[in-house]
Amino acid sequence: MDATCPDVKRVQDKAKNLAEEGYRVVIIGKADHPEVIGIKACADLYSNEEAIVISSVNEALVNIEKIKQAKKIGIVIQTTQKSENFKKILPIIAESSKELKVHNTICSTTFKRQQEAQALAKEVELMVVVGSKSSANTTNLAEILSEITKTIHIEGPEELDLYEDLLEKINKIGVTAGASTPESVINEVINRIGD
């Protein structure tokens, strides 16, 4: 049984199609993330040129010569990427491309969760982000929120003990979680904060 997330499968298919159409595939995402490894493998199977993975403005600049040499560049994005990162990298690639095709493949659920969490963060003194510290979407969520208000990233309710002094001083706390965080864990965190 193929348990690949449908959104991730869609990105893999787009990368494959771009490669088949003769585009040099550029993946905006973290090179060591399993999703990106899979997307790159799909693109590389159907291309004579290895896909380029870019996670930052600096990496875009490092790869600029490869981009300039390509006749056509096709971009896909790791589904859990921050849209702000994509917005910073895209102009650098666009300036150096002869022909450019972009598929904005950021997961709509991830994007919506980020927007909702940002709105909540503006109303509270502390945001608690619940989820794996190895999860790209959860880590990105914590980074985004930390630019708005004080934010802590925990994997489970037991980690709240590390922030006991902070929690006692805060009146308004917001809780959000990564996409793969079980609802039971989120509820345990909320209950523990409420005690």
Torsion of CA 112, 113, 119, 123, to 10 degrees: 160
On the question of a common fold for 6-102 and 108-194, the answer reads yes
> 15 pairs with which residues across the strands?
none
Tokens read off for 2: 């193929």
- Per-chain mean pLDDT for the chain: 93
pLDDT, position 154: 97
Sheet (strand 100-102) strand order: 52-54, 24-28, 73-77, 100-102
pLDDT at 195 > cutoff 80? no
Q: 6-102 maps to which CATH number? A: 3.40.1010.20
In whole angstroms, what is the distance from residue 26 CA to residue 22 CA? 12
Instruction: Give the pLDDT confidence of 174-187 residue by residue, as tens digits.
Output: 999 988 899 999 99
Residues 28 and 52: their CA atoms lie apart, in Å, by 8
Active site residues: 35
Which neighbouring-strand residues pair with 154?
Answer: 130
pLDDT digits (tens, 9 = 90+) for 44-78: 999 999 999 999 999 999 999 999 999 999 999 99
Spell out the residues 6+ positions from residue 103 whose beta carbon is closer than 8 angstroms to its own. Answer: 11, 14, 18, 74, 75, 76, 77
Give the side-chain half-sphere CA count within 13 A for 109. 11
- How many CB atoms are located within 10 Å of the residue 44 CB? 16
Domain boundaries, the chain: 6-102, 108-194
3-state SS, 17-66, equals: HHHHCCCEEEEECCCCCHHHHHHHHHHHHCCCCCCEEECCHHHHHHCHHH
- Within 8 A by CB and 6+ apart from 164, the residues are none
Summarised one tens digit per residue, pLDDT across range 77-130 is 999 888 889 999 999 999 999 999 999 998 888 888 889 999 999 999 999 999
| CATH architecture of the domain with residue range 108-194 | 3-Layer(aba) Sandwich (3.40)
pLDDT of the residue at 69: 95
Buried/exposed 20-39: b ≥16 CB within 10 Å, e otherwise: eeebbbbbbbbeebebbebb
9-45 pLDDT, tens per residue? Answer: 999 999 999 999 999 999 999 999 999 999 999 999 9
User: What pLDDT shows up at residue 161?
Assistant: 93
